Structure 1
Amino acid sequence: MASLGRPSNNPTSSSPNPIWTSSIMQISLQEIAANAIQARRRIRHHIYKTPLIPARRIGHDQDAKVLFKAENFQLTGSFKIRGALSKLSSPSAQGPLITASSGNHGIGASFAARVLAKNLTVVLPETVVQTKLENIKSFGVDVILHGAETGLAERHAQQLASSGSYTYISPYNDAEVIAGQGTIGLEILEQLDEIDNIFISMGGGGLLSGVGSVLKSFSPKTKIYGVSASNSKALAASLMAGHVVETDHFPTLAEAVAGGIDQNTITLPLANAVVDYVIECNEAEILRFVKALAAQENIIVEGSAALALAGFNKVAEKLTGQTSVILLCGGNVDHDYIPKVVCS
């Protein structure tokens, strides 16, 4: 097993963006990794240690060993509960809180607010999946619907917080949230002797930054693949530009990773430091692997989780004999998702 002692002093690997021009990173990979260990102690009694499941069929044709880190089986149906619990259990989460979400972070934060007795308001886009909306409301938090996509909901939550009535909790641009997501990396290192590659869907970058920081700190040879949806690729485009850029956002099956990123997000320099390769996938590719996971692996996931597998498929022939982890980030689907998407 990989040692979980002191993080490596040289965790970085080749960057996808050699012209990166950001100023000094606001927090180091080693600090995120150390914070992840602390976060795990705070949240471990409230979450599941999710399984690392060997693929039945996927990867066999390429002679590649594939395992699924099944956060779709997490207590709230996605990894987001980890970051939410990490943040809401930290000293900085005081007073009435407000956050924004496409759905899964809202579920995780609402769960955390209930178990930690916090006052929380969740701002969601008007396009939120109905099942996710109902789940969030079931925890008794206040809900506001605003905007056609998650980035607009985030800006509205930030504006409300600027009045001084709330403390804003970012779904990704927060060191404690990122550290919480990093606990997935700690689990993987305990579950697997060696990991050559990991494929992680890219949204705001909290999951990528957290898991990537842990793996690059304790297993620096592991290659990190960030996978972006073509229809909403703010982080991928920003990595290529070397700074935050605005992109158009179109409807995507990977709605859980859709939306823009903050101008000052700490996830951009962190992602730049940990990501070895960025892969972009279109809607047809995402749909193909939603169906492949159901048909070949008996696993129902969101499009955002299938996105990571679609990215793996694009480079699978180059990974012969290697061990690759596909991070299935969520499985919260609407009532008609199976007949309309999986079985269409």
Structure 2
Amino acid sequence: MINDGIKNIYAKPVTFPIYQTSSYIVPEGEKYRYTREYNPTVENLGKEIMRIEGSEDYNVFSSGMGAITTTLLALSGPGDRILTHLDTFARSYHFIKEFMGRWGVRADVSLPGTENILSSIKKDTKIVFIESVTNPILRVNDIKAISERCNEVGSLLIVDSTVPTPYNIKSVKLGADIVIHSSSKFIAGHNNVISGLAAGRKDLMEKIDTMRRTLGTTLDPNSAFLTEAGMKTLDIRMEKINSNAMKIARELEGNKYIKRVIYPGLAEHRDHDTVVKYMKGYSGIVCFEIGMEAMKFIGKLKQVIPANTMGGVDSIVSIPKTMSHRSLTPDELKILEVDDHFIRLSVGIEEPEKILDDINNALSSQ
């Protein structure tokens, strides 16, 4: 894709270039003045997420959390009520519940599940912030039903769809006003960049864009280039990851060392009716509970990488209790049924047999 806003007098490159500049010569135009505000490479990435999500406008950020915090700060103020659910990413949860509260924003927290979110939406709820597929317990929320309820009371619906990606579910088409992605994960897909994306209604995106430029949560051109390069293979990577994860989840169900397996593609999943109604594929996160201590288990793995992330081409295992969700209280973790035996596996593009063999060997060596 070539950006019409910048004319290259030498050539039209096949790959959109990195505009490695902090500022621009004036007075050539009103738009390109300073890269914190606009940069052609960053803009090119934004147009891609807008195209993929089928939205009116976009914003690009320095991280997924940058996208979340900037969006919420732009669209809320003292006295407003924001609803989220307990099984969100811990950083999002704490930002809404604690940080926003310091500025007079009232935070409501529902228990996991669409039915609990719907019953928690009040007449004065300003924003409902949900994850389409939740991290780490993989509940699948009914975006359409929640959107309809939001429309009834005049709430804005913001959906973090990092786990399934727009390949597996189209949040805007299901009624989300804004969809957010930590594009560091599956969208970029190679664990080599930190970035965040948002897409949605134009009037809301304009407010968020003003806040982004003020806060400085702007993505740099190099990271935009890497994210867009990864996005080019999103479809084929997610097809392979979806297939791998489905096969691995089914095999793990029969493993005598595993107590339970959580994966949206399994018929036993609590939200399976919603899953089959709205999702193209079931994404790349498989969670399971084992009999041995999680730290002991990951120490025995030879192929699967232990790390505090997800969404790359390599399979990665993490322990939510001590990594991504370490800031939750014991009572909150108990509600989520996340403990020292709970494992989150981010499935990569390797042959699934290699991943399964590594997991089986680690479990059987206890």
Which bracket does the TM-score occupy, shorter chain normalised? 0.3 to 0.5
Decide which structure has the larger Cα Rg and report it: 2
Higher relative contact order (CA 8 A, sep 6+): 1
